[in-house]
Structure 1
Amino acid sequence: MKKIIIINGPNLNLLGKREPQIYGNLSFNEFFETIKAKYPQVILEHFQSNIEGELIDKLHEVGFLYYGIILNAAAYTHTSVGIGDAVAAIETAVVEVHISNTFKREDFRHHSYVAPYAKGIIVGFGLQSYELALQSFLNPL
């Protein structure tokens, strides 16, 4: 069985409460249980932290063992050279995701330190962005 992890960065623990006009009303845990049930052929895990170093540590921990990583580094996407370097250093393919269309938002959100090292990027499809990323691992072109 393929082992895939979703790694979420800062403030994503507030999904369902935080800015519902941008992020919706569903908590990530509710969504995660739905997607786990929909894809029983995958060992799907989830990790969230508001702390940059913990995200880097998790990338290092799983980055040589797992089949795929779905990474929403949230605001750290646009600020963290360290997270970009961690993605570059590991062997496991990473798909960068964002719930909102970051290109419709503030200019600083148009740059990603993760993108140069990612297998691909999915933005702007709400929580479905995670499922699209998962499908990219299960149905490679």
Structure 2
Amino acid sequence: MPQIMFINGPNANLYGLDPAGTYGLQSFSQIAAACRAKATELGMALDFHQSNHEGVIIDWIQQARQSHDGLLINAAGLTYTSIAILDALLAFPGPILECHMSNIWKREPFRHHSFISKAATGVIAGLGADGYLLALTAMKQLVEQKAA
């Protein structure tokens, strides 16, 4: 069974609480539950994490090198600032999907450059929580292709 890690960065735990609805109305725990259910349906084991701390995210990426076949990441605000997360991702040997709830290219100009993208196999953005589920489906295909 493929082992997949999904890492969410700062403030993702606040999904569903934004009155402007930038990230949709589903809570972080609802999104996590939907992702776990989708991973089970796809025959994958999913570790779903969130941290507001860059070092913790880096530690998870490094740990995933030893135990996970694929990595999904929404580094949130750290997407645009963290070369340290990029460096950790570049050392990960499996497929990496960068995921964003919002379309980062339709937002403020500083969000238009992602350091994470340099390490990513692909990017899914702007589809809200559905994008997370699509990313899991894509990850299943990527892991199977790599194993073949």
TM-score under structure 1 normalisation?
Answer: 0.93
The percent identity for this pair of structures is 40
Equivalent residues of 1:64, 1:92 under 8 A apart = no
The alpha-carbon distance between structure 1 residues 19 and 59, as it changes in their structure 2 partners (threshold 3 A), is farther
Report the aligned-residue RMSD.
1.4
Superposition misfits of 4+ residues, deviation over 4 angstroms: none
Residue 139 of structure 2 aligns to a residue in which SS?
Answer: helix
Q: Does 1:49 align with 2:59?
A: no
Query: How far does the alpha carbon of each residue in 1:79-116 deviate from its partner, in whole angstroms, 9 at most, with x for none?
Result: 00101111011213210010000000011100011101
Which residue in the other structure is 1:10 paired with? 10
Residue 45 of structure 1 aligns to a residue in which SS?
Answer: strand
Distance in structure 2 (CA, Å) of the matches to 1:36 and 1:44: 6
Residue 76 of structure 1 aligns to a residue in which SS?
Answer: helix
The number of residues matched between the two structures is: 141
Query: How far does the alpha carbon of each residue in 1:107-130 deviate from its partner, in whole angstroms, 9 at most, with x for none?
Result: 110001110111111110001111
Query: More helix by proportion, 1 or 2?
Result: 2
Task: For structure 2, list consecutive stretches of 5 or more residues without a partner in the other structure.
Answer: none
User: Offset at 1:19?
Assistant: 4.3
Distance in structure 2 (CA, Å) of the matches to 1:38 and 1:21: 24
**Superposed, which structure 2 residues align to 1:85-104 within 5 Å?**
85-104=87-106
Distance in structure 1 (CA, Å) of the matches to 2:21 and 2:100: 15
Which residue in the other structure is 2:23 paired with? 23
Query: How far does the alpha carbon of each residue in 1:52-93 deviate from its partner, in whole angstroms, 9 at most, with x for none?
Result: 111011100112321111100001000001011110112132
Of 22-31 and 48-57, more deviation after overlay is shown by 22-31
Which residue in the other structure is 2:131 paired with? 129
TM-score under structure 2 normalisation?
Answer: 0.89
Equivalent AA in structure 2 for residue 45 of structure 1: D
Distance in structure 1 (CA, Å) of the matches to 2:84 and 2:54: 8
